[in-house]
Amino acid sequence: MAKKTGAEALGRFYTGGKVRSRREWRGFKDTMYDYSRWLVIMGTLGKFIIKPRNIKAMFRYRWMANYLAVPMMVDRHTQGLRGEYLRMCHVEQDLIIDDVAKLLDNLFRGDRRIGNDKEFSKKVVLVDENEMTAVMMGFPTLKTLSRETPSTYVPVLLNQHAVEYYLDKIEEFGLAPDVCPMPAAEAGVSVDDDAPILGACAIQCNTTCDGSLLSNGVISKRLEEDGIPVFQIGAPLRHREDDVQEYAAQEIRNAIAFIEEHTGAKWDWKEYFECARRVNVATRSRMEWLDMNRTEYPQVFGSNLALYTETNYMAICGRIPAFEKADRKLCKLAEQAYAKKNMMAREYRHRAIVWGVQSHYYFDFLLWILNCWGIVPLTDMLSMVSTKIIAEEDTPENREQAYYDMAWLTENMIMRNRTHGGYKVLLDELWEFVDQFNADMVILWEHTSCKALDGMHGMFEDRAREKGVHLVWVEHDLFDPRIVSRQGVRDQINSYMRTVFNEEPLDPSLEILDDANSW
């Protein structure tokens, strides 16, 4: 049977339709474990949909249809996994699902169109999906909610075609189609009147790119029309420079004052330092995993590293205790697997650093390169975030330091810490990581509409040649599979592996998949 890693041909489940023919048989123990987690997920979804207001929302918001595909997202990220790796994935995914379900529930509770709980809405501060939520760490009585996370960010993980409608919508209003589809889709949701309306105020930030900054303008216009005041945090772009840090800290002070003014809530230092402690737990855990990944037996990598880091580091930012528990669980599982010298695939052929902005509609690509070609994605750009330990003890000096720490986190939000900050953080540090992780190849996502990445294209090529490292470009358009399909993404790896490395796939059934119509 298929107890052994890599025993089942994973490609044969693809039918050409939205969903797969069946779930994987992983041997009795792992299948039963996966089944039990499936039951838990179904329970989470059942608990969510049983509420009348959530049913109402299901019929109001187009993006809610994507949540029909939740279990399939989990299946995509558990493909071929056994033992500790399967458990790690479920620890993460199940927690993320639970967190998103709570986020949706809260959004609809306060939404003027749905639950219209006015008192609740007064305690809500809206934040952007791509925004570090550090500035909310000292507001335990307020609800930090993102409308973009459930309307655009998560849906593309669930269904590759999720935001095509919203992209078309914003382009109907004249937006050039060459801008990054992530902020464009967020703007599309806003102009299409498809965002929940709630909150005492909103905090935006110039997050990852020019597109993101500008799309916030589209959204803030609508928020203001709805009577929701907006504060924009202008986080410095050259975030490694000393002479921008005072400005950055002042932006945080101003943001906190704005929130206090519009919600009546008071900043709570005790809560802040407790969150800071949890941020440090997450940082130490991530550093431990990265250390393991430098060895011959990497343990927390691929989707298990990338998706979890994105959620825990940025959206959670120490505010939810359950993630600390998950961090510890993950460390335990990783240590167990490391002690046993376990491997996630039956053969590791190449050690790769995955750089650039990865395709959101094909997030499980990291697992695919492992299962199909035996390429170990040791780490990825979005997981290489701040490793700075922030002040966690409540002292007068640390209260002042805290503003700088929050500013640092905000400046170093995921993706932003590499796309901004000059070429050192994007280009030079990549090659340092290649050495540190003993990688023999770099898989470089070329997100076609990411100008910050594209602008370094030639220098990446030049440096790879100088260092003699295999560099594989993988083009995609982040949220829009109509530009480069999932198979189009795979083909770029396939052709490199066959023509340059002259290799055959580990699992040939995965080389070409009929998943263009799939969720």
Partner 1 sequence: MRDLKHLIYFENLLVNSDNELIQQAKKDGKICAAYTCENVPEPLLNLDGVFSARLRAPRTGSMEMGTYYMTSLLCEYSRALLERALEGGFNFADCVISPDGCSMMNRCVENMEMLHTMDGGKDKFFYEFMEIPMKCDDNGLNLYVVQCQNHILKPLAETFGIDTSDAALREAVKKHNHLCEVIQQIGEFRKEENPRITGYEFCVLTMASFVTPYDLIIGKLEETLEEVKKRKPEKENPYRVRLAVVGSEVDDVDYIKLIEECGAYVCVDRYCMGSFPGRVPIEMNDEEDALTQICRHYMNMGQCPRYMSTNKLKGRKKYVDQLAREYNADGIIYEQIKFCDPWAYEKMMGGFVLEENYGFPVLQVDRPYNIDAGAGQMRTRVQAFIESIEIKKIQKGGEK
Partner 2 sequence: MNKVTKALLIGTGAAAGFFGVTFTVYFFNLDMKLTALMEPIFLNHYDKIKKDSHL
Q: Interface residues with partner 1 (CB under 8 A)?
A: 173-176, 178-180, 187, 204, 206, 209-211, 213-218, 220-221, 224, 230, 232, 234, 236-238, 241, 243-244, 246-247, 250-251, 254, 419-420, 422-423, 446, 448-449, 451-452, 454-459
Which of partner 2, partner 1, none interacts with 39 (beta carbon under 5 to 8 A by kind)? partner 2
Letters for 153-192 (x = contact with partner 2 by CB under 8 A, - = none) are: ----------------x---x-----------------xx
Residues 446/359, Cβ–Cβ less than 8 Å? no
Residues 8/27, Cβ–Cβ less than 8 Å? no
How far, in Å, CA of 76 to CA of 74, rounded?
5
Nearest to 353 by CA among 444, 244, 426, 429: 444
- Least distance CB 65 / partner 2 (angstroms): 4
Element (H, E) at 351: strand 350-355
- With respect to partner 2, which residue has the nearer C-beta, 17 or 422? 17
Which residue in the set 119, 193, 397, 466 belongs to the binding site for partner 2 (CB under 8 A)? Answer: 193
- Least distance CB 35 / partner 2 (angstroms): 5
Residues 414/314, Cβ–Cβ less than 8 Å? yes
How far, in Å, CA of 422 to CA of 207, rounded?
15
Q: Count CB atoms within 10 A of the CB of residue 113.
A: 14
Nearest to 236 by CA among 400, 381, 454, 413: 413
- With respect to partner 1, which residue has the nearer C-beta, 68 or 214? 214
If one asks whether residue 294 binds partner 2 (CB under 8 A), the answer comes out as: no
Q: Which residues make Cβ contacts (< 8 Å) with residue 290, sequence separation at least 6? A: 379, 383
Which residue in the set 17, 264, 321, 455 belongs to the binding site for partner 2 (CB under 8 A)? Answer: 17
- CA separation (Å) from 104 to 52, 97, 146, 321, 494? 13, 10, 9, 19, 39
CA gyration radius, the chain? 22
Q: 476 phi and psi, to 5 degrees? A: -165, 175
If one asks whether residue 19 binds partner 2 (CB under 8 A), the answer comes out as: yes
Residues 334/288, Cβ–Cβ less than 8 Å? yes
- Least distance CB 173 / partner 2 (angstroms): 5
Q: Which stretch binds partner 2 (CB under 8 A): 69-77, 343-351, 425-433, 443-451?
A: 69-77
Which of partner 1, partner 2, none interacts with 21 (beta carbon under 5 to 8 A by kind)? partner 2
- Least distance CB 174 / partner 1 (angstroms): 4
- With respect to partner 1, which residue has the nearer C-beta, 35 or 423? 423
For 211, the token pair is: 């597109």
Compute the Cα dihedral for 163, 318, 142, 114 and give only its sign.
positive
Residues 198/112, Cβ–Cβ less than 8 Å? yes
- Least distance CB 156 / partner 1 (angstroms): 20
Element (H, E) at 53: helix 52-60
- With respect to partner 1, which residue has the nearer C-beta, 379 or 449? 449
Which of partner 1, partner 2, none interacts with 68 (beta carbon under 5 to 8 A by kind)? partner 2
Number of residues counted as binding partner 2 (CB under 8 A): 33
If one asks whether residue 108 binds partner 2 (CB under 8 A), the answer comes out as: no
Residues 109/117, Cβ–Cβ less than 8 Å? yes
- Least distance CB 302 / partner 2 (angstroms): 23
What residues make contact with partner 2 under the rule CB under 8 A?
17-23, 25, 35, 38-39, 42, 58-62, 64-65, 68-69, 71-72, 75, 169, 173, 191-194, 218, 221, 519
